[in-house]
Amino acid sequence: TGVKGRVAIVAKGCDSRSIVSLIQDNKVVREDVVIIGVPCSGVIDLTKVEGLVGKDRDEIADITRDGDKVLITVNGDKRECPVQEVLFDNCLACEMPTPQEYDILLGEPTAAAGDKEKAKSREKINSLETMKPDERWAFWRNEFSRCIRCYACRNVCPACFCERCFVEETEPPWVLPIPRWQDSLMFQVVRNLHVAGRCTDCGECERACPVGIPLRSLAREMYDIVGELFSYRAGMDKEAPPLLACYEPTDVEDFIR
């Protein structure tokens, strides 16, 4: 990039985990960055706020957070609600709200999410898990029929760093460039496999999607599978090898067919 000297990065807990993951993959040199850690108590999801008050975000005059409550002002009327009702789902389940990798820490550490918040963050995923396979297939077919293949999810993802994405290959072409639901689904399936062990459940993929596809449901499911099968959490230890480089003879292999 031509940048000389060290670069400063302001990082929440999930951001710091993504930085650590990039260090593990030799994409970031630790000595080249100054990490300014910022404890985070969660980010407000404006889509949830819109659903709560029944108004478009442009009509919301003010949102004020006060401890564990949020005050929403619309047309002069004020409405109070628990902050857990309007936080992003990934924030409800945050395992590391206070960065563990930093050079400077601003503010006081924030407590990790409790079991109640974690359970609430999985409501979408749990509803998918209770579906029959054909129902779940129909759900994702409908969701990816809305995909415009803008690749915002890929471009915003800290774990997507291939110089050339497989969707851009032409010899052979793995997916068609037009936004068919089949190719859009294939793109997300392969992308989630590629970032397995690198995904920190930051939720940016879903947040960036302009058509509101629940991409975190796929990402979090893969995140949990990696944790269950290999006891691995991305971005926790910069000295640890990446997931695919830390095979152990004691790893559970009952998923292999």
User: Domain check: are 52 and 153 in the same one?
Assistant: no
Q: Residue 159 has what pLDDT? A: 95
Q: Are residues 51 and 133 in the same domain?
A: no
Both 95 and 200 in a single domain?
A: yes
Does some domain include residue 2?
A: no
Residue 1 lies in a domain: no
Q: Are 195 and 182 in a shared domain? A: yes
Q: Are 185 and 133 in contact (CB under 8 A)?
A: no
Last residue of a domain, one of 33, 57, 86: 86
User: Do 106 and 212 reside in the same domain of the chain?
Assistant: yes
Residue 78 sits in which domain range? 45-86
Condensed to tens digits (0 to 9), the pLDDT of residues 39-89 reads 999 999 999 999 999 989 998 999 999 888 999 999 888 889 999 999 999
In which band, very low, low, confident or very high, does the pLDDT at 1 lie, cut at 50, 70 and 90? low
Query: Region 190-197: what's the mean pLDDT?
Result: 94
Q: What is the DSSP letter of 84?
A: G
CA-nearest of 65, 61, 59 to 80 is 65
pLDDT for the residue numbered 99: 94
183 and 128 co-located in one domain: yes
Domain closes at, from 86, 117, 143: 86
Q: What letter represents residue 227's amino acid?
A: G
Pair (148, 55) in one structural domain: no
- Counting the structural domains of the chain, the total is 2
Q: Is the pLDDT at 126 greater than 60, yes or no?
A: yes
Spatial contact of 63 and 83, defined as CB atoms under 8 Å apart = no
**Residues 69 and 171 reside in one and the same domain:** no
Q: Are residues 63 and 94 in the same domain?
A: no
Whether 97 maps to a domain, the answer reads yes
**Are 121 and 216 in a shared domain?**
yes
The pLDDT assigned to 183 comes to: 93
27 and 77, same domain (yes or no) = no
Q: Are residues 59 and 33 in the same domain?
A: no
CA–CA gap between residue 94 and residue 111 (Å, rounded): 9
Contacts of 215 (CB under 8 A, 6+ apart): 153, 188, 205, 206, 209
d(CA 210, CA 147): 9
